[in-house]
Amino acid sequence: GMLRWQEEGEQTLITDAKQPVWVETPLTSYDRSVIKRRAKVKLAADGTVEGDVTIELTGHFAIERKEESDHESESEREESLKEEIKARLSTAEVSNIRIENVTDHVKPFVYSYHVRIPGYGERTGKRIFLRPALFQYGAPALFPTTDRRHPVYFHFPWSEEDNVEIEVPAGYALDNADAPAPLTSGIVTGYKPSLAVSRDGRFLIYKRNFYFGGGGAIVFPVQHYATVKSVFDAIHLQDRHSIALKQAEPKP
């Protein structure tokens, strides 16, 4: 089992009549609180993206989500999920929502839905520009301000695993294939995006692996704020990486 994140990394008294002791409760490592996101979508020539998404939460993410969902009805859960998606992607149409394991304390919290996003790809002439990082689209920078008065406290170490498969419209091929750049910062964090094209050229496969809080580093004093901010700014920039698809010339 896991403690709630509020109880991790805290001085705790273990009561014993003969010899009570103070211990520090352990922090759960980043590989135990994971957000796994999967999308299988089809891109149309007008820039619309449509397909299916599954998101799986483990560890502290699952505990928090289950606690939030516990007092919501099924329709309330679906509404808050729709609002969450629309906050990032205003044009998104979400349907066929399924939420699993809300009351199961062991299994991951899983939700899936069908999504249609008109205008996700930007069409200009013979090209379509799009950002393969579907799950980060529209997400604001984590630290927008340059100054800070208080230490930065992340609730718990975590990791993210994204896998986005995009079916390319017929007659289009990847025009520029530079991939977003990876980033590591000691043992604390790692960010590794990758972009590949299937052999037949019909699918783009974007993967994004990220972790934070390695070595239990989740609290940063004010004087380290600039460093923390620069890491998240660099990731935010790579998450916005855009690729171009070009319409092939018809054969004479």
Residue 14 confidence (pLDDT): 59
How many other CB atoms are found less than 10 A from the CB of residue 250? 6
Residue 159 has pLDDT above 60, yes or no: yes
Residue 40 confidence (pLDDT): 98
Residue 4 confidence (pLDDT): 58
Mean pLDDT calculated for residue range 146-166: 92
Mean pLDDT calculated for residue range 132-159: 91
Q: What is the mean pLDDT of the chain?
A: 86
Q: What percent of the chain has pLDDT over 70?
A: 87
Mean pLDDT calculated for residue range 102-107: 75
Q: What is the largest CA-CA distance in the chain?
A: 91
Angle in degrees, CA 246, 251, 252, rounded to 5: 135
For the stretch 3-32, pLDDT in tens is: 554 555 555 555 666 766 655 556 788 998
Q: Which amino acid is at 29?
A: S
Q: What percent of the chain has pLDDT over 90?
A: 47
Mean pLDDT calculated for residue range 192-206: 93
Mean pLDDT calculated for residue range 40-67: 91
Joined together, the tokens standing for residue 217 give 């580093």
- Whole-model pTM? 0.85
For the stretch 171-183, pLDDT in tens is: 998 887 677 888 8
Lowest mean pLDDT among 8-12, 47-51, 165-169: 8-12
CB contact at 8 A, 157 and 9? no
What radius of gyration, in Å, describes the C-alpha atoms of the chain? 21
- What three-state secondary structure class fits 109? strand
Residue 130 confidence (pLDDT): 94
Q: Which residue has the higher pLDDT, 252 or 61?
A: 61
Which of 17-31, 58-72, 209-223 has the largest mean confidence? 209-223
Quickly state the pLDDT bin for 77 (edges 50, 70, 90).
confident
